[in-house]
Amino acid sequence: GYRAYKSAAGTFGGPKLDRPAWELTARYDRVEGEPAVGDLSSTVIGLNYHYNDHLRWLLSYTLGDSDVDDDQTRQIALRTQFTF
């Protein structure tokens, strides 16, 4: 499969698949706030299963960090997406 790139918009289109496909994802975010708010960061890793062009399942694990109160947030999310 592949994802078409739309250069005018600077975006990728949805996947075009010949057969079901797996996709690994990762993201890191960081926000530097004012001293009263502190810094925030999150790391996300995921695994997506594309059944066809219109149906996929997305599983992700998020680890968030806050400097204000040394809070750590952990989240597991599973969702199903239908597109048409």
Q: State the pLDDT confidence band at 12, using cuts at 50, 70 and 90.
A: confident
Q: What is the mean pLDDT of residues 35-53?
A: 90
CB count in 10 Å sphere of residue 56: 21
CA distances from 81 to 11, 58, 76 (A): 19, 8, 16
Specify the higher pLDDT residue, 32 or 37. Answer: 32
Q: What is the mean pLDDT of residues 49-57?
A: 93
Can you name the residues that pair with 47 across neighbouring β-strands?
Answer: 24, 59
Q: State the pLDDT confidence band at 53, using cuts at 50, 70 and 90.
A: confident
The predicted pLDDT at position 67 comes to 80
Share of the chain above pLDDT 90, in %: 52
The predicted pLDDT at position 5 comes to 87
The predicted pLDDT at position 51 comes to 95
